[in-house]
Amino acid sequence: MSSIEQVMQKISELENNAVELMKSIVPIKALGPLNNGEGETAKAEYIIKYLKSIGLSDIREYPAGDKTVPGGKRPNMTAILDGENKNRTVWILAHLDVVPEGDRSKWDTDPFEAVVKDGKIYGRGTEDNNQGLVSGIIAAQAFLDLGIKPKYNLGLMLVSDEETGSIFGLQHMVKNHKELFKKDDLIVVPDAGEPDSSMIEVAEKSILWLKFKTVGKQVHASTPEKGINAFKAASHLVVELNKLHTMFDTKDEVFDPPISTFEATKKEANVPNVNTIPGEDVFYLDCRILPNYTIQQVMDEAGKMCRDIEKKFDVKIEISIAQKDEAAPPTPVDAPVVKALEKAIKHVYKVDAKPMGIGGGTVAAIFRRAGYHAAVWSTLDDLAHQPNEYCVISNMMNDAKVFAHVCLNG
């Protein structure tokens, strides 16, 4: 039997270990202080004990100081299983923290007890992100049990604080422990995905919400010549802003839809009666911008349009930012981590996975901003943060096989 097949079979045999590990960690409430919890230390300590028990010896801790939790520290750690080629590490990044259970009455089981039923494990954190965490550990355990060295190092990186900003987690690691990551490393973040394993998330759009406040002059509607209709001027601006679609018209088929979008959305109420010409108007524009453009470029063009409308209608227009999140540089669709995942997913799931872009907001952006090509992938029903969150046991085991495959083939 090839070493790949041996490892795949071994992972299947470790299913009970995976389920037991999940059962042990779900009750250890790892809530960050911003979620009124005491942090992730107890969970991290349990996992370190487990990692030692399976024979992983290279475990290092990188705590981030946080006075708002007992002990004053948020745990972060790496556990490394040496490969034949020690110059490249396949990182599996998972987060230790979970979110609160939310409305308890919507749960059919105790959210902080792992309940196994019909091939699933129910409980808060089972899918987000214990599944990825356990899959990574089980992949390492299979190599250790068999005494097989992967081609590349298997690096587990377990961090705090993903659910409340990552300041004490991945941001801390990337900022203060840059030496851990090498240029050729493969970084996998198993924290989002599709039920059919087909999505490898590599990019995100920038998000920009703009508020436009137009000021004219309020008068009686029977004498419009005495006032300035702010609503009418703003309506012309709405039409003008639609030209952003042609100004920023790059297509990128990695995204769905493959274009930047600029949509007028919310409209604040103006005058309460029909026979008054509104002297003030407020509306909003929701922009989702492909990463090849900057937010500033869009702001500049929108600003010019406002100046034109101001001249034409004798109004004053104020633009302000209601929300802004600049996209990280995308991971190339042919980056080694993407190629390795595609191969592994094909082998394990018999699925042709595709690199894709999403609307925004994964922890992988922190890696990408620091210059690393991270890919987000796992097999999920997407129940994160919901009541009756569960993880599908077969997904947990098969995702472990994908990680092992990447370490053996890279």
Interface mask toward Zn ion for 169-208; x: CB under 5 A: ----------------------x-----------------
Tokens of 187: 């970084």
Q: Rounded CA gap, 247 and 233, in Å? A: 22
| Helix 131-146 vs helix 15-25: crossing angle, to nearest 10 | 140
**Shortest distance, position 98 Cβ to Zn ion, whole Å:** 8
Residue 399 contacts residue 379 (beta carbons within 8 Å)? yes
- Burial label for 148, CB within 10 Å (0-12, 13-18, 19+), is middle
Q: Which one of the listed residues 128, 161, 162, 280 is annotated catalytic?
A: 162
Residues contacting 248, CB < 8 A, separation 6+: 260, 262, 289, 290, 293, 297, 298, 301
* Active-site annotation holds for 82: no
Q: Rounded CA gap, 11 and 148, in Å? A: 13
Interface mask toward Zn ion for 125-164; x: CB under 5 A: ---xx-----------------------------------
Strands (E) across 232-387 are located at 261-267, 276-277, 280-289, 316-325, 354-358, 374-376
**Shortest distance, position 133 Cβ to Zn ion, whole Å:** 10
Interaction between residue 395 and Zn ion (CB under 5 A): no
* Active-site annotation holds for 314: no
CA 364 to chain centre: 6
Under rule CB under 5 A, which residues in 90-129 are in contact with Zn ion? 128-129
**C-beta closer to Zn ion: residue 126 or 153:** 126
Q: Which one of the listed residues 40, 66, 97, 342 is annotated catalytic?
A: 97
**C-beta closer to Zn ion: residue 191 or 342:** 191
**C-beta closer to Zn ion: residue 83 or 169:** 169
Q: Rounded CA gap, 250 and 245, in Å? A: 9
**Shortest distance, position 154 Cβ to Zn ion, whole Å:** 21
Kindly state the number of chain residues that form the binding site for Zn ion, as judged by CB under 5 A: 3
Under rule CB under 5 A, which residues in 27-66 are in contact with Zn ion? none
**Shortest distance, position 112 Cβ to Zn ion, whole Å:** 17
Under rule CB under 5 A, which residues in 297-356 are in contact with Zn ion? none
Sign of the Cα pseudo-torsion (287, 290, 293, 296, in order) = positive
**C-beta closer to Zn ion: residue 342 or 389:** 389
**C-beta closer to Zn ion: residue 285 or 391:** 391
**Shortest distance, position 94 Cβ to Zn ion, whole Å:** 8
Name the residues annotated as catalytic: 97, 162
Binding footprint of Zn ion on the chain (CB under 5 A): 128-129, 191
